[in-house]
């Protein structure tokens, strides 16, 4: 199929928005890119010489928990030092003005909540960098919102911004600087079961998303047709997030509205349906403009 001719017209989108009640957003790392947090794929996707996606697995943690904790310690440090951007602000403002708006985010950086996005209109599909869980699968320990930086002393290198001897260089990011040795004994044990190691409360590749949360998301989608799905700053290749817009379509007439830095390709246009929109550009700049008739000027 092909989209309407005005698929990238902000005015045409504003008309659609004026006639829409139920709105869903599916957000990815591109939303936080302007806050200075790297995305997973494309430029910035490497950490030292590792692909970020190779460190985000239970097997990687099992093999070298110190290395994986350094990676997450660094991401916690970066997220704590980043600020929400006008894209997060626009979504939070939409939530406050429309109780029929639900935001699903794959981002674990806590920036939605720091932008005062109402918690009950937000589902963090992949957990949070600031939640701490236990590796023991029989243990349900979960600590919320732990912002200690570093989380434990052995990963202090992850919280270092610049080398005192080489200003401008973050030693942890330079593969020629050796990593501090971290043994299993350096990693804090679970305070509840005292058996497992504490680990980041994020969903790793190969792990299931929280079943109760996904049931709740599916109920929200099934309850009534969804007028608009905003697909913001995501490469849409990781499921189930990548399948949510199409699932919403099966329940009624839904406009899928993509906001992505990458320009639309002929293939992408082919996959779009009448009523869909594609806005190529920075989500930070586009979201306030797209939502302005409802949220006012940010
Ligand atoms: N504005 C809008 N889009 C942007 C911007 C920006 N400023 N910067 C980058 N993008 C787009 C990129 O073009 C890309 O399509 O954001 C997307 C980021 O894609 P990914 O890095 O793959 O991030 P995401 O889709 O969130 O990844 C999904 O994969 O590794 C896992 O668990 C991790 O939650 C993550 C999941």
Query: Which among 245, 238, 240, 244 has a CA at the least distance from the CA of 275?
Result: 245
Dump pLDDT digits (tens) for 184-195: 999 999 999 999
Task: Return the pLDDT at 46.
Answer: 82
The residue-averaged pLDDT of 173-189 equals 92
**Helix-, strand-, coil-residue percentages of the chain, each rounded to 5:** 40, 15, 45
Band (pLDDT 50/70/90 cuts) for residue 174 is: confident
Pocket of ligand 1 (CB under 6 A): 28-30, 33-34, 39-41, 53, 56, 106, 126, 233-235, 238, 259-262, 282-283
Q: Which residue has the higher pLDDT, 38 or 87?
A: 87
Band (pLDDT 50/70/90 cuts) for residue 44 is: low
The residue-averaged pLDDT of 22-39 equals 96
Q: Which residue has the higher pLDDT, 52 or 232?
A: 232
**What atom in ligand 1 is closest to the CA of residue 108?**
34
Report pTM: 0.96
Query: How far, in Å, is the centroid of ligand 1 from the Cα of 181?
Result: 32
At residue 124, φ and ψ (nearest 5 deg) are -90, 95
Task: Return the pLDDT at 159.
Answer: 94
The residue-averaged pLDDT of 214-235 equals 97
Dump pLDDT digits (tens) for 157-173: 999 887 667 767 788 88
Task: Return the pLDDT at 170.
Answer: 80
Task: Return the pLDDT at 190.
Answer: 98
Question: Is residue 43 predicted with pLDDT exceeding 80?
Answer: no
Task: Return the pLDDT at 173.
Answer: 84
Averaged pLDDT score across all residues of the chain: 95
Q: Is 134 annotated as a binding residue?
A: yes
Supply the DSSP string of 107-149, one letter for each residue.
--SSHHHHTT--GGGEEETTEEEEEEEES-TT---EE-----S
Query: How far, in Å, is the centroid of ligand 1 from the Cα of 187?
Result: 30
In this structure, which residue's CA is closest to atom 28 in ligand 1? 238
Task: Return the pLDDT at 164.
Answer: 65
Percent of the chain clearing pLDDT 70 (strictly above): 97
Q: Chain centroid to CA 6: how far?
A: 29
CB 177 within 8 A of CB 171: yes
Question: Is residue 231 predicted with pLDDT exceeding 70?
Answer: yes
The residue-averaged pLDDT of 253-279 equals 96
In this structure, which residue's CA is closest to atom 4 in ligand 1? 30
Instruction: Mean pLDDT check: name the lowest of 86-90, 162-166, 170-174, 267-271.
Output: 162-166
């Amino acid at each position: 199929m092909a989209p309407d001719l005005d698929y990238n017209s902000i005015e045409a989108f504003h008309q659609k928005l004026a006639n829409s009640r139920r709105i869903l957003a599916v957000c990815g790392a591109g939303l936080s890119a302007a806050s200075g947090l790297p995305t997973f794929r494309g430029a910035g996707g490497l950490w030292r010489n590792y692909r970020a996606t190779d460190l985000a697995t239970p097997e990687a943690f099992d093999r070298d928990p110190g290395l994986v904790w350094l990676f997450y310690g660094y991401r916690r440090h970066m997220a704590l030092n980043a600020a929400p951007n006008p894209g997060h602000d626009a979504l939070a403002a939409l939530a406050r003005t429309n109780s029929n708006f639900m935001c699903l985010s794959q981002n674990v950086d806590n920036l939605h909540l720091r932008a005062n996005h109402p918690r009950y209109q937000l589902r963090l599909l992949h957990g949070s960098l600031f939640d701490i869980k236990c590796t023991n699968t029989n243990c349900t320990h979960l600590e919320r919102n732990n912002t200690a930086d570093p989380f434990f002393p052995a990963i202090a290198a992850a919280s270092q911004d610049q080398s005192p001897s080489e200003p401008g260089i973050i030693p942890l990011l330079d593969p020629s600087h050796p990593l501090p040795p971290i043994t299993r004994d350096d990693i804090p044990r679970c305070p509840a079961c005292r058996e497992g190691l504490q680990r980041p409360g994020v969903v790793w590749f190969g792990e299931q998303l929280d079943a109760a949360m996904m049931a709740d998301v599916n109920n929200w989608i099934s309850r009534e047709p969804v007028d608009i799905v905003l697909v913001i700053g995501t490469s849409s290749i990781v499921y189930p997030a990548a399948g949510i817009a199409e699932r919403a379509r099966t329940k009624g007439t839904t406009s899928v509205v993509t906001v992505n830095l990458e320009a639309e390709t002929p293939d992408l246009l082919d996959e779009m349906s009448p009523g869909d929109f594609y806005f190529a550009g920075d989500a930070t700049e586009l979201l306030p403009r797209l939502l302005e008739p409802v949220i006012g000027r940010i």
